[in-house]
Amino acid sequence: MHKIKSLPLNNIFKYFHITENFILNRQSENVLKQNSIKITPPLRITTTNLFFETQCIYENNLKTQNVNINLDFSFPSKNFIYKLETKLFAKQNENETIDITKNNYFNLYKNFTQFQFSTGKENSILRNEIFNIKQTFNFKNINFAPYIYLEAKNNFIKTLNESTQTNTIIKLVLPFKIKKNSFTFSLSKEMQTNDLNVNHKNYFNDANEYFNTISKQNWFAKTIPFADLFSKNISQIISENNFTNNTLTYFTSYDFTLKRPIGNNGIINLFLPISSSLTLSRDIQNAKDGNTTDINQIKTTFAFTSLNCFGKFGQRKVFTFYEQDEYIAAYSISLKFNELFTNLDSYLITGYSGLSLYLKKYNIVSSSIDFQFIEKNLWNAKTSLTWKRNIPSSFIINTIINIVPSLTESKINLERKNILYYQISDYKLISHTIGISHELKSQFGKFFTLTGVISMDTKLNEENNIMFELIASLIGKIKF
């Protein structure tokens, strides 16, 4: 084993940082070979960082190469900052049996170094390449920092049928603020191809094949924003492609998000969401058999959070039997359409609403309702009531202390929680469930926790089938 690391002893190594690690474990037959270099040139106008790392890992007769190249560049000015971030990642796996116990140190070093700096092996069973670039334009005076993100992926797998999957992603994000309210609009589109019976020999072949694939699908870069949600031409292009040995997928999405601070007016927060979003998307897929699916989706979400409204310490002191209250809710509606938003195919409606009353600091009563509607005969709803509080003593804990008196040397905290719930669901058959549970959590000092739970529920469906379930558990947890 050896490790090499540069030290900033002179002007050159202040800006160049170099490392090498070669770790050889003959007993477990594992090897790690790693090299890296980080360059930070002393430029006054810009900030630039270049990082390169490559490593080879050998374990269980499998060699893995990982390569990372990162380049960050920023150009600041008085009112504007331009930032460029680029990342390149490459990986390959190769099966090889090496006798680590008999090979000498230098032969192993040479073998793993050659694979570590390889440009791709023909007999690799897997090769992955990911390249992404992000450009951010930060206008400091107006709180506006849009960015453009591009990503290219290639995944080669050698199985019975060699296959290559490519992904191309383009994303534009426009975030801005008005006072304390934030708005974000994002546009993204992705194209994915799957090709069978391909034979690439190295990273350069993979990259060349990726660009050949993209050049054949030049319509991807020409799609007009928002128009691709409705265009019949895109669906026709995808369905008319030659899909003898491959598949093609196109996905586009437009998202509008609004967020605002909770603020001090909890009563207004009961009716005005702190965050909401609207997403319009389209997903077109064509399989090897030539069948094309074209789905449009509309999704909207709302989230509510309200604190300290009507309790003893609330804005309006309506109730005095509790100190504080907390209300949390979230709702979403998702609609999927065929034929360009004209024919409703499916829907999903979900909701959650929860109210917590803090009677005292460690005495909380909570209730919640959540539901999910997927279609006419596929839905469920559940309501629950929870009481959580600290207690001074417990018969069970007192019995344990009598058996193990040394436990009294630690501070003991006892917490009891009771839950009562009712659920109704319809999965082609309406069923009702009512249940109750009791939990006792005992904390002995800082390191030992003992939790006992007993629960039971009864299920009844419309065919009058009844099922009763009783569960008891005891869990101990030790922290070191």
**Torsion sign, CA atoms 374, 293, 248, 189:** negative
Q: How would residue 239 be classed by pLDDT, with cut points 50, 70 and 90?
A: confident
| Long-range contacts, stretch 464-467, CB < 8 angstroms, 24+ apart | none
**CA pair distance 159, 464, nearest whole angstrom:** 52
Name the pTM for this structure: 0.82
In this structure, are 313 and 421 located in the same domain? no
Q: Is residue 251 part of a domain?
A: yes
In this structure, are 410 and 461 located in the same domain? yes
In this structure, are 384 and 340 located in the same domain? no
Q: Is residue 329 part of a domain?
A: yes
Alpha helices in 347-450 (DSSP H): 395-403
Of 176, 352, 137, 367, whose CA–CA distance to 256 is shortest? 176
Question: Domain containing 286: what range?
Answer: 243-375
Q: Is residue 97 part of a domain?
A: no
In this structure, are 322 and 251 located in the same domain? yes
Q: Is residue 389 part of a domain?
A: yes
Spell 226-263 as b/e; 16+ CB within 10 A means b.
Answer: eebbebeebbebbeebebeebbbbbbbbbbebebbeee
In this structure, are 317 and 421 located in the same domain? no
**CA pair distance 258, 240, nearest whole angstrom:** 40
Mean pLDDT calculated for residue range 174-186: 91
Q: Please, which residues have CB within 8 angstroms of residue 5's CB and are 6 or more apart in sequence?
A: 18, 19, 20
In this structure, are 363 and 429 located in the same domain? no
| Domain limit, last residue, from 346, 375, 404 | 375
In this structure, are 285 and 317 located in the same domain? yes
In this structure, are 353 and 250 located in the same domain? yes
**CA pair distance 86, 49, nearest whole angstrom:** 11
Pairing outcome for strands 378-391 and 181-196:
unpaired
Residues across the chain? 480
In order, the DSSP letters of 218-237 are THHHHPPTTGGGT-HHHHHH
> How many domains does the chain contain in total?
2
Of 349, 345, 342, whose CA–CA distance to 229 is shortest? 342
In this structure, are 279 and 343 located in the same domain? yes
**Torsion sign, CA atoms 117, 118, 120, 125:** negative
* One-letter amino acid for residue 40 of the chain: T
Least confident of 72-86, 99-113, 123-137, 396-410: 396-410
* pLDDT recorded at residue 100: 84
Q: Quote the mean pLDDT of the chain.
A: 88
Q: Is residue 91 part of a domain?
A: no
Q: Mind listing the pLDDT tens digit for each residue in 6-49?
A: 776 666 667 888 999 999 888 888 899 999 999 888 777 777 89
* pLDDT recorded at residue 190: 95
81: enclosing H helix or E strand: strand 80-95
Q: Which residue has the higher pLDDT, 155 or 413?
A: 155
Alpha helices in 302-452 (DSSP H): 395-403
**CA pair distance 248, 243, nearest whole angstrom:** 8
Q: Mind listing the pLDDT tens digit for each residue in 420-430?
A: 999 999 887 88
Are the C-beta atoms of 88 and 68 separated by less than 8 Å? yes
The residues facing 35 across adjacent strands are 20, 54
| Domain limit, last residue, from 327, 354, 375 | 375
**CA pair distance 63, 57, nearest whole angstrom:** 6
Q: Mind listing the pLDDT tens digit for each residue in 135-179?
A: 999 998 888 999 999 999 999 888 766 788 899 999 999 998 888
In this structure, are 267 and 343 located in the same domain? yes
**CA pair distance 250, 238, nearest whole angstrom:** 8
The residues facing 62 across adjacent strands are 59, 95
| pLDDT reading at 60 higher than 60 | yes
Q: Is residue 322 part of a domain?
A: yes
**CA pair distance 339, 99, nearest whole angstrom:** 61
In this structure, are 258 and 364 located in the same domain? yes
Q: Is residue 96 part of a domain?
A: no
| Domain limit, last residue, from 326, 349, 375 | 375
Are the C-beta atoms of 216 and 191 separated by less than 8 Å? no
DSSP 409: G
In this structure, are 399 and 366 located in the same domain? no
Q: Is residue 52 part of a domain?
A: no
* pLDDT recorded at residue 50: 92
